[in-house]
Amino acid sequence: MIVSMIVAYGKNWEIGLNNQMLWHISEDFKKFKAITSGHHLLMGRKTFESIGKPLPNRTSLVLSKGGFEHEGVHTFDEVQEAFNFARQNGEEELFIIGGANIYKTLFPYVDKMYLSEVDFEGVADAFLESIDFSTWDLAEQIDYDAIIEDGVTKTPAWKFKVWVKKD
């Protein structure tokens, strides 16, 4: 089973503020849905609570030490239990979707990264650990221009990159 992480972050590795995303990029949400559809999503409790419900056509796995329960969600207090559950259900690519502590803790297991690098610098209280890309190969990159309407940036510029761990 491939373990992948999927995350959008700003110029200073910002990923969130007050358990919310820092921007709304419609095309990035569409990519997230297309890439993760039909797969298991592994996240922390706070990330699940920020989403509010299990996402359609995906299996929600939540890591929580506090006995978290929610209808339609599988909760685990150990990473390997979650990985084993996904494997037993025939998962070929498990997606880690946050938050910051989950990304940090599970990064050693990651084989593939789907990264949206957003042209954003601003206030945040959740950050991705900086990544040393020297042990990764860039497999794909798509650059998106900012969308500006009436002089106001509606969507910041961003780059979508797929990285695969070197053998």
Could you read off the pLDDT tens digit of each residue along the chain, which spans 167 residues? Answer: 999 999 999 999 999 999 999 999 999 999 999 999 999 999 999 999 999 999 999 999 999 998 899 999 999 999 999 999 999 999 999 999 999 999 999 999 999 999 999 999 999 999 999 999 999 999 999 999 999 999 998 999 999 999 999 98
Q: Which residues pair with 9 in a beta bridge?
A: 117
Residue 107 C-alpha from the chain's centroid? 12
Integer CA distances (angstroms), 100 to 5, 20, 67, 97, 120, in order? 11, 12, 20, 9, 17
The partner residues of 74 in beta bridges, in order of sequence, read 61
The total of other beta-carbon atoms located within 10 Å of residue 122's CB is 11
The SS3 call for residue 108 is helix
Domains of the chain (ranges, CATH numbers): 2-165 (3.40.430.10)
